[in-house]
Amino acid sequence: MPLPVRASGRMTADETQSRITILRGQTLGFRGDPCTVGPDAAVDFDSDGAVAIAGGKIVAVGRALDLIARHPDALLESYPDHLIMAGFIDSHVHYPQIDIIASWGEQLLQWLNKYTYPAEAKCADPAHAEATAHRFLDECLRNGITTASVYCTAHPTSVDAFCAAAQSRAFCMAAGKVMMDRNAPDAVKDTAQSGYEQSKALIARWHGVDRLTYAVTPRFAVTSSPAQLEAAGALWREHPTTLMQTHLSEHPSEIAWVKELHPGAPDYLGIYERHGLLGRGANFGHAIHLTAREAARLREAGAGLSHCPTSNLFIGSGLFDMRAARQGDAPILVGLATDVGGGSSFSMLATMKAAYEVGQLKGYSLHPADAFHLATVGGARVLQLGHRVGNLAAGFDADIVVLDLRSRPLIAQRMQQADSLWDALFIQMILADDRAVRATFVAGRKVYDRPIAA
Ligand code: GUN
Ligand code: ZN
């Protein structure tokens, strides 16, 4: 058998782009949805697998010895006892809220007024927005998140800062300017007209540029007037390849206020529907307290949901019904999301744990196959990126996370008793966190390497 030319080590940018690199370890990908085909049929797992990457893409996934033999000149990075999988997709997060994560004592509407809007007001300053965007992206990498659907603030500068930061670091990201024209302080408000025009200009500037996707982002039905929702719907219609993201049925007090603000609508979703904001590529955050009509319309429309369990627990919003969303032959598209700063962690592993715990309180035990699928493939599908990211397969972008399966003594100890893949993955999602992230690759480049001391 031909031997690999060189063992692991730092690569130059040119080498990374042109030469094949092989990552060897335990590989995990998906060939189906565990919800519909069952966990065992859904998964592609190899205990001695490898991923060959070049030019920012995954060239091949297979048995380690086969790939090494096929590419004798490749650079080899070996990760024994590590899981190599697609980078996590955080399908709903607010980058300017990184500074108010873990803010005490309020539920949604008071939390927004007391903590969130003041933090977002600061993003009118381009220097603050730029520094915040880079800190946010650093945190993503530390947690193995390679794609996110990001809410910026109402200031176009906040989108420019975020998109420029993400572009300079080759991230695949979706982002949008929050549109909000009422029920909020002036410092974070736009108008129906300015929100439309600014968003349109941002679409022209950023949508489809490198690995960026624009998301039309009316914040929610509390802070957008009917005129603004109408303008957002028009904008989305005029730019059908963009995404649309908003919040839906998160907290009981919010839902009650929305009912007063939009009389005559059949329900919360009906407000968005009425303004052309329901369809494929729509991404509704939370969606906890849905009626049967809303669930049916979401399913029919091919819209996506972002389940934000740490946020729902932290803010006290309620318990998402995963079983209702995913049951049947045509489950609703669901991604997992941190919703920082309402969410209490950047870790998608911690987010999976919270999703499991929320499920338990609803009488539903989320299977680890489902959890890992939701955190990767599921999120990618919600963002209409399921053909490019979120899976470990030839032709996909080389956005990859390498997880240390024994990142702490307790985990190492517990792993000794693991008697199946599912047991091992469940141990990770319950016990592991950012300390398990050994390396993160974005577009084929290793951009995070866990410090040795960790
Ligand atoms: N609803 C409207 N805006 C927000 C926000 O920033 N975070 C959460 N969790 N819910 C919202
Ligand atoms: Zn949110």
With both helix axes pointing from N to C terminus, report the angle between 192-206 and 226-238 in degrees, rounded to the nearest 10. Answer: 20
| pLDDT the model gives residue 451 | 86
Torsion on CA atoms 280, 312, 373, 350, rounded to nearest 10: 150
Q: Give the side-chain half-sphere CA count within 13 A for 13.
A: 2
CB distance 94 to ligand 1 below 6 Å = yes
Between the CA of 98 and the centroid of ligand 1 the distance, in Å, is 13
Count of residues for the chain? 454
Could you tell me if 202 and 161 are in contact, meaning their C-beta atoms sit under 8 angstroms apart?
A: no
CB distance 24 to ligand 1 below 6 Å = no
Among the bound ligands, the one closest to the CA of 316: 1
Give, for ligand 1, the residue of 153, 247, 305 to mutate: max count of ligand atoms closer than 8 Å to Cβ.
247
Residue 38 backbone zone (phi > 0: left; psi -120 to 50: alpha; other: beta): left
Between the CA of 279 and the centroid of ligand 2 the distance, in Å, is 19
Q: pLDDT tens across 32-73, in order? A: 999 999 999 999 999 999 999 999 999 999 999 999 999 999
Residue 17: which pLDDT band, with cuts at 50, 70 and 90? low
- For residue 270, whether the previous peptide bond is cis, meaning omega lies within 30 degrees of 0, is no
| Alpha-carbon span 408 to 142, nearest angstrom | 16
Q: Which atom of ligand 1 is nearest to the CA of 223?
A: 2
Could you tell me if 271 and 221 are in contact, meaning their C-beta atoms sit under 8 angstroms apart?
A: yes
| pLDDT the model gives residue 453 | 60
Q: pLDDT tens across 103-123, in order? A: 999 999 999 999 999 999 999
CB distance 246 to ligand 1 below 6 Å = no
Q: What percent of the chain has pLDDT over 90?
A: 94
Mean pLDDT of 364-391: 98
Between the CA of 75 and the centroid of ligand 1 the distance, in Å, is 45
Between the CA of 48 and the centroid of ligand 2 the distance, in Å, is 39
Question: What single-letter DSSP state applies at residue 177?
Answer: P
Could you tell me if 324 and 364 are in contact, meaning their C-beta atoms sit under 8 angstroms apart?
A: no
Q: What percent of the chain has pLDDT over 70?
A: 96
Q: Which atom of ligand 1 is nearest to the CA of 116?
A: 6
Between the CA of 284 and the centroid of ligand 2 the distance, in Å, is 9
Between the CA of 451 and the centroid of ligand 2 the distance, in Å, is 31
Of all protein residues, the one whose alpha carbon is nearest to atom 11 of ligand 1 is: 247
| pLDDT the model gives residue 1 | 28
Distance from the Cα of residue 119 to its chain's centroid: 22
Q: Which atom of ligand 1 is nearest to the CA of 94?
A: 6
Q: What's the whole-model pTM score?
A: 0.96
| pLDDT the model gives residue 11 | 43
Output phi, psi for 245, to 5 deg. -130, 145
| pLDDT the model gives residue 327 | 84
Q: Which atom of ligand 1 is nearest to the CA of 308?
A: 9
Mean pLDDT of 69-97: 98
Residue 281 backbone zone (phi > 0: left; psi -120 to 50: alpha; other: beta): left
Say if residue 415's pLDDT is above 50.
yes
Give, for ligand 1, the residue of 250, 310, 320, 344 to mutate: max count of ligand atoms closer than 8 Å to Cβ.
250
Between the CA of 432 and the centroid of ligand 2 the distance, in Å, is 24
Residue 18: which pLDDT band, with cuts at 50, 70 and 90? confident
CB distance 219 to ligand 1 below 6 Å = yes
CB distance 220 to ligand 1 below 6 Å = yes
Among the bound ligands, the one closest to the CA of 253: 1
| Alpha-carbon span 371 to 353, nearest angstrom | 9
Q: pLDDT tens across 193-244, in order? A: 999 999 999 999 999 999 999 999 999 999 999 999 999 999 999 999 999 9
Between the CA of 94 and the centroid of ligand 1 the distance, in Å, is 9
Q: Give the side-chain half-sphere CA count within 13 A for 407.
A: 24
Mean pLDDT of 149-153: 99
CB distance 249 to ligand 1 below 6 Å = no
CB distance 117 to ligand 1 below 6 Å = no
Q: Exposed e or buried b for every residue in 223-258, given b needs 16+ CB within 10 A?
A: bbbebbbbbbbebbeebeebbbbbbbbbbeebbebb
CB distance 139 to ligand 1 below 6 Å = no
Could you tell me the CA-to-CA distances from 323 to 35, 299, 370, 372, 418 in Å, in that order?
10, 14, 11, 16, 27
CB distance 153 to ligand 1 below 6 Å = no
Mean pLDDT of 414-438: 98
| pLDDT the model gives residue 329 | 79
| pLDDT the model gives residue 5 | 28
Residue 226 backbone zone (phi > 0: left; psi -120 to 50: alpha; other: beta): alpha
Q: pLDDT tens across 301-339, in order? A: 999 999 999 999 999 999 999 999 998 878 999 999 999
Interior angle at CA 212, CA 211 and CA 213, nearest 5: 130
CB distance 120 to ligand 1 below 6 Å = no
| Alpha-carbon span 226 to 206, nearest angstrom | 26
Among the bound ligands, the one closest to the CA of 312: 1
| Alpha-carbon span 158 to 338, nearest angstrom | 20
Say if residue 251's pLDDT is above 50.
yes
CB distance 311 to ligand 1 below 6 Å = yes
